[in-house]
A and B are shown apart, each in its own frame.
Chain A
Amino acid sequence: MIGDLITGYGFWNPLIWIIVMATGLLFAWLIWRCGESGYDKGTEQTKPYLSGNDEPPKSDVHIRGGNMYWGFTHALKGYYDKLIPLHSGVVNDYLTWFVIGVIVIFVVVMVI
């Protein structure tokens, strides 16, 4: 079939996927169009819902990039506590880790 991508084990056809998605988007948009579109702009109802509290400054409530994966990093705290100090910012350290990594991969591939 035209456009087939075959990896050796897996396969897919992005062109067909695009056609399916386009049809799905059109179908979903038609349902969306059937719905009520109006609302009272510029009134209380457009304020973010915060259980009746005033909205704090955005800088206080927005999640920053560094906290994006909080929950994951906190659950694996033991791992990250060991990993983060290894990121010293010194190129020599990174090269050493790279060489160690290559040796480990070499041993795994060649010996095992």
Chain B
Amino acid sequence: MNIILSAIGGTIVLAIIGIAVGLFLSGIDRRIVARMQARIGPPLRQPFTDVKKLLTKQSIVPANAIPWLFNLMPIAALASSIAVLMYLPFGSLAPILGEAGDMILVLYLLIVPSLALVIGGFASGSPYATVGAQREMVSMIAYELPLAISVVIIAWRLMAANVADPFSFMTLMETSVWDVAGPLGIVGLLLLLFLFMWITPGELSKVPFDSPEAETELAGGILAEYSGRNLGLFSLAQAVKMVGIIAFGVIILLPWNLSPVFGMTGAGAAVIDLVFFFVKVIVVSILSVTVVRTMMARLRITQVVKVYWFVFGGIGIAAIILLMLDAFLMGGV
């Protein structure tokens, strides 16, 4: 009974926190992009204002659309983005549902918002949105390979070090993969960190991996027909997913907390670790999303596949080899 109440209450609390942090991250992103382009940029609260305004605008359902599917997908995208947060630890705060799901589940849950976008795009019956939806599907196939490599090899390295439940987030809170890895393993983990920095913009359809939306080419592509509250909900889903994917990367590859450094315990430790966790999320967001999208142009969809499968896939395989060698040399296997 307790876990059911935790699930319901936690979902509502984390939904509010996720939306607030996600929109705040979007505000930081837009502000820094503007400064890097020698513009002043919008205030940090601009994404909040945008969503508020979208909720007051007409939400047009195109004549060709399948209305119920078209309207349902933004709701499904936001709900599934919120669900991701339920399984993640934040700093030294254990995940609300840490015993009800692991890293593999989060991998699958991260796909759901993108799938909702794809279904919504196809359901809108617009040529631009249909092409965008098709591209989103191909992008998903592309970035899932390096993402899966990153997660599985980290769990494998923990398992090789005789750590029980290597896919559990509770395990990751207690044992950092950096602590069990030797010199070769650390090089492999640095490669995975680099990999994750490039998976994040793909997951979020940000430049250079924004071909599903491609404003200048497809007029918003997958979202071309969405307006008003439906577009507002997709914006919220994107914001929450941004928190989810970056937090996921931070948890598996930048797991350190500040409280042990200061010898803190109890509520103070939880607060300082939580603050430090969100600082890491902001820094990763700036490096992997903001800076990348400012300095690069959009890749074609075929280039997206080639980059993720051949370049990042190759880097992932190199990381696998290094971590396996490390495990053999350290005597774990």
Give me the interface of A with B, judged by CB distance under 8 Å: 1, 4, 9-13, 16-17, 19-21, 23-25, 27-29, 31-32, 34-40, 42, 45-51, 55-56, 58, 61-63, 67-72, 74-76
A50: which of B127, B135, B138 is its contact (CB, 8 Å)? B127
Chain A residues whose C-beta falls within 8 Å of the C-beta of B134 in the assembled complex: 63, 67-68, 70-71
Cross-chain contact B97 with A72 (CB below 8 angstroms) = no
Binds A, one of B61-69, B245-253, B323-331: B61-69
Cross-chain contact A36 with B229 (CB below 8 angstroms) = yes
Cross-chain contact A45 with B60 (CB below 8 angstroms) = yes
Residue of A nearest to B104 (CB): A10
Cross-chain contact A48 with B127 (CB below 8 angstroms) = yes
Complex Cα spacing A58 to B125, Å: 9
Chain A residues whose C-beta falls within 8 Å of the C-beta of B60 in the assembled complex: 39, 45-46
Main secondary structure of the interface of B (DSSP, over half): helix
Given A24-B11, A62-B130: A35 and B61 interface contact (C-beta under 8 Å): no
A-B contact pairs, 30 of them (CB 8 A): A1-B99, A9-B155, A10-B104, A13-B99, A16-B3, A17-B105, A19-B4, A20-B10, A23-B11, A25-B75, A25-B76, A27-B15, A27-B78, A28-B233, A31-B55, A31-B78, A32-B74, A32-B230, A34-B55, A36-B55, A36-B56, A39-B228, A47-B63, A48-B63, A48-B125, A48-B225, A70-B138, A71-B304, A75-B305, A76-B305
Cross-chain contact A72 with B75 (CB below 8 angstroms) = no
Cross-chain contact B142 with A72 (CB below 8 angstroms) = yes
Residue of A nearest to B131 (CB): A63
Smallest CB separation, A5 vs chain B (Å) = 10
A35: which of B59, B80, B159 is its contact (CB, 8 Å)? B59
Instruction: Knowing that A16-B97, A20-B82, A32-B233 touch, tell me 7 more A-B residue pairs with CB under 8 angstroms.
Output: A19-B4, A24-B78, A28-B75, A35-B233, A38-B58, A48-B125, A48-B127
Q: Is B83 an interface residue when CB atoms closer than 8 A count as contact?
A: yes
Smallest CB separation, A95 vs chain B (Å) = 29
Residue of A nearest to B76 (CB): A25
Cross-chain contact B128 with A71 (CB below 8 angstroms) = no
A49: which of B8, B58, B165, B225 is its contact (CB, 8 Å)? B225
Complex Cα spacing A16 to B96, Å: 11
Chain A residues whose C-beta falls within 8 Å of the C-beta of B127 in the assembled complex: 48, 50, 55-56, 61-62
Q: Is B205 an interface residue when CB atoms closer than 8 A count as contact?
A: no
Residue of A nearest to B78 (CB): A28
Chain B residues whose C-beta falls within 8 Å of the C-beta of A20 in the assembled complex: 7, 10-11, 82-83, 86, 97
Chain B residues whose C-beta falls within 8 Å of the C-beta of A63 in the assembled complex: 130-131, 134
B residues 94-111 in Cβ contact with A at 8 Å: 97, 99-105
Smallest CB separation, A65 vs chain B (Å) = 11
Given A16-B4, A23-B11: A46 and B63 interface contact (C-beta under 8 Å): yes
Cross-chain contact B82 with A27 (CB below 8 angstroms) = yes
